[in-house]
Amino acid sequence: MNRLLMLMLLPFMAHASGEGAWQASGVGATLSHRGVAASSRALAPSQPVTGVMTMVAWRYELIGPTPAGLNVRLCSSTRCVEIEGQSGTTRGLTNVAANEPLRFVWQVPGGGALFPALKVQSNQVIVNYK
């Protein structure tokens, strides 16, 4: 896990009774056309968990420049939340089942080819749950 991200999240990762956290990371996606969405692979807990999400921290890394108008969402199967920046936290997925996989979805508005293509090197989530 990225050391800086871990230090940033320490205050949020308290493991009181009945609480926990899981983290997952994966390779990114490539987006070649405006107006088309690209989704990451599912990021899911490596072991069974129960409860509901309370806060999700995210981080992703791009190869190359960030396209103007880039829209990024973090999605479960039942809800999506828009996220800003390449790292941060959200409570927008509160009460989603803690064992639900999450996906990043990238999209640049408009039409036509995107040059250079958006290349996502990696993405990561840390899910706190109770």
pLDDT tens string 70-117? 999 999 999 999 999 999 999 999 999 999 999 999 999 999 999 999
pLDDT of residue 28: 85
Distance CA 82, CA 71 (A): 7
Looking at the domain that runs over 3-129, which CATH code has it been given?
2.60.120.260
Model pTM?
0.85
pLDDT band at residue 26 using 50, 70 and 90 as cut-offs: very high
pLDDT of residue 14: 44
Half-sphere exposure of 72 (CA within 13 A, CB side): 26
Q: Where are the domains of the chain?
A: 3-129
Residue 30 CA from chain centroid, whole number: 15
